[in-house]
A = this chain, B = another copy of it.
Amino acid sequence: MAVPSMKTDKLSVPQSKDFFAVGVDVGGTKVAAALVDSTGQIRFRSRSNMVANGTASDGLDAVVLTVRKLICESALAPDFRAIGICAPGPLNPDAGIVINPPNVPCWRNYPLVAEVARIFQVPVKLDNDANAAALAEATWGAGRSYRSVFYVGIGTGIGTGIVFDGRILHGASGAAGEGGHMGIDMRGPRCKCGKRGCVEVFASGPALAGRMRQKLQADHEGSTLLGLSGGDLEGVTAELVGQAAAKGDRLALSVIEEVVEILAYWLGNIVDLIEPDVVIVGGGVAPMLAAYLDGIYKRWQGACINPRAQVIPIILSSYADDAGVTGAAALCGIGSSQ
């Protein structure tokens, strides 16, 4: 496919001062890329399968292919200034190295930034999913009018990111922001990370579904859940729990109530330590939890010593599936010169 003519394409750019970054979201099974403008709008997308189980080069090739597709197919892409990549952690954002993500085994201490920069000859930035999402929110999204943002993504795990004054808090070695592995019960069940009682053990999507299954096993009388899951206990998901709760299913509501209580206690700890200006909730489970987040305020009294906690907004993410690519583009700083 031919790269489109530059001149004609430049004329078609709606705002002449616009500039672009390529945001790349690498997961265990797919690579998504997007051309993002300086207002945070996605102008073009591409997507490929990730090759996570091959060699390191196979993984790199999947990323390069996805970016090349974007460049070739978008008339705007030749103007991009930088490439931002979000990938599963652990990784070292300063060194640009992917350390050893469980679901991307092809990369072990892999210098992804150097490799991608060598190929495309532009600056390349790297961070983990939750940090990138936090920066997208702070730059363009629900957190854009706040100085400090605490982002929590609730999905198969719980990932968090902290942005102070437009900068991600990376900590001493880039490992800060792992709020999902803060423990709220030191004698509690062990998390897959090795710690006991991490909030992720209690309040991730699978944890919520698991708790529901436990309750159904004990007593499913009157619950509509098994009907929704086709009678299959294993088919109970966080989403179905949300659907049942929305219809007034008492068992489902009680599970959500437990999760909200746990999230309130955990967020109370975070507010007491860093007192962000806003808490933003994203991830796959966020839409389902949205109706219940206000319940956290009712619990601040016992969850937070900060007397102003009730005025710290807890709001939904501006992004659904686009948090990764948008956040990756935000890493390039294209939003900060707005």
Contact = CB atoms under 8 A, between A and B. Distances in A.
A48 to B, nearest CB: 31
A173 B176 CA distance: 23
Copies of the protein in its oligomer = 2
A172 B269 contact: no
Nearest to A160: B273
B305 A183 contact: no
B184 A185 contact: yes
Interface in A267-298: 268-270, 272-277
Interface string A173-190: 101111101111111000
A178 to B, nearest CB: 4
A272 B181 contact: yes
B265 A301 contact: no
A312 interface: yes
Contacts of A308: 172-173, 175
A302 B187 CA distance: 11
A177 B273 CA distance: 5
Interface stretch (A27-35, A111-119, A193-201, A245-253): A193-201
Q: How large is the interface on A (under 10, 10 to 19, 20 to 34, 35 or more residues)?
A: 35 or more
Interface in A170-228: 170-173, 175-179, 181-187, 193-196
Interface string A51-67: 00000000000000000
Contacts of A162: 273-274
A80 B184 CA distance: 47
Interface in A142-170: 147-148, 160, 162, 164, 169-170
Contact of A274 (B176, B184, B261): B176
Contacts of A302: 194-196
A171 B186 contact: no
A272 B182 contact: yes
A304 interface: yes
Given A148-B172, A194-B302, A307 B275 contact: no
A195 B265 CA distance: 9
A325 interface: no
7 contacts: A169-B274, A173-B275, A176-B272, A182-B272, A183-B269, A193-B305, A195-B302
A276 B172 contact: yes
Given A196-B302, A301-B194, A303-B195, A275 B175 contact: yes
A90 interface: yes
Contacts of A312: 172
A262 interface: yes
